Amino acid sequence: MPELPEVETTRRRLRPLVLGRILFQVVHQDPVRYRHTERAEGRRVEEVQRRGKFLLLSLSGGLEMVLHLGMTGGFRLEETPHTRARFLLEGGALYFHDPRRFGRIWVVERGDYREIPLLSRLGPEPLSPEFSFVPFSQALRESRKPLKALLLEQRLAAGVGNIYADEALFRAGLSPFRRGKEVGEEEARRLFRALREVLSEAVALGGSTLSDRTYQQPDGLPGGYQERHAVYGRAGLPCLGAATPWKGGW
């Protein structure tokens, strides 16, 4: 599933293609997955933002288009055999490509996320100034859940999934099976720092394109961070690089 770096890369590539343009129509045949898209017709795209793994397109008239890429969703400049929705814009078209059909689109009143409850429950953005060590450390100490499960919940840090949870935990020298309440202050600080480092590096390299190549940038280019994966997808292989040793093993 595309995570924060992949969705942020998509946002950055998408923004100059749609910003300020009128969205004439979203053409699709799946009103269950792509909800209320007719409300976007004739609206101008005023901004393209991201929250966790969601893309947020601010539309004129106080509306907002919320997109979740699911497992395999992404935008393309040309139609593909797996095009699920066509965005007809002033000056051209974009195509939502989604082989496994888990992607979702909603058009809502701006900020009204009653149909998308996860969006209202997201924690802080880990690359933003709002991501602070003290509440992060406190949330760890108050939980009996394993560290990886805590990261995947999206409340400690929005947008982290399997790839970057694994990479950050390895860099911090912490087992994914350690419980939050077992983590000391210095270990929590290492994890806090590792999350920011790993995500920043992945964004700079355009995210991770895995062997199935389902994630690509809109222009078809792959990400580059997969070349730096130290542990993700390396079952049975040695880890790459060095990590701070932890006590108790995996």
pLDDT tens digits, the chain, 250 residues: what are they? Answer: 899 999 999 999 999 999 999 999 999 999 999 999 999 999 999 999 999 999 999 999 999 999 999 999 999 999 999 999 999 999 999 999 999 999 999 999 999 999 999 999 999 999 999 999 999 999 999 999 999 999 999 999 999 999 999 999 999 999 999 999 999 999 999 999 999 999 999 999 999 999 888 898 888 889 999 999 999 988 888 888 755 444 444 3
The answer to whether 34 and 85 are in contact (CB under 8 A) is: yes
How far apart CA 242 and CA 22 sit, in angstroms, is 50
Tell me which amino acid residue 146 is. Answer: P
User: Nearest-5° angle of CA 18, CA 23, CA 27?
Assistant: 115
Told to judge if 3 belongs to the known catalytic residues of this protein, a careful annotator would answer: yes
Contact 205, 223 (CB under 8 A): yes
Phi, psi (rounded to 5 degrees) for 107: -115, 120
Q: Which of 2, 5, 126, 218 is catalytic?
A: 2
Q: pLDDT at position 242, please?
A: 56
Task: Set out the domains of the chain in order of their start, with CATH numbers.
Answer: 4-121 (3.20.190.10), 133-228 (1.10.8.50)
